[in-house]
Amino acid sequence: MNATVTDSRRRLVMPPELPARSPVLVQQIDADTWIVRRARPEKMHLALLLPDIKHLPPDPEWQETESRIVAHHARTIAPFEE
């Protein structure tokens, strides 16, 4: 994003990609150099704790579905030789 224009009141004119009233950070490097960055909120990180499942209860519906998946993919896999 480049903004190189000021208006009659010496305000910096930002490009249209930046929404109106967006917070910005202004950093002065030297007397003639300024860096203007859009201030974005920090993203919150979420930690999700999942239980450690050692054994699932039997589910006949899922067993049938899993058997169909295995049968479908077993047709294209070469047999394993030890």
Give me the mean pLDDT over the 34-49 stretch. Answer: 85
Tokens read off for 61:
């519906």
- With b meaning 16 or more CB within 10 Å and e meaning fewer, what string describes 37-49? eeeeeeeeeeeee
pLDDT for residue 68 is more than 90? yes
Residue 60's pLDDT is what?
A: 92
As a dihedral over the C-alpha atoms of residue 13, residue 18, residue 20, residue 24, rounded to 10 degrees, the angle is: -80
How much of the chain, in percent, has pLDDT values that exceed 90? 16
> Across the chain, what does the average pLDDT equal?
83
Residue 2's pLDDT is what?
A: 60
∠ CA 27-31-35, nearest 5°, is: 25
pLDDT for residue 3 is more than 70? no
The domain limits of the chain are: 5-38
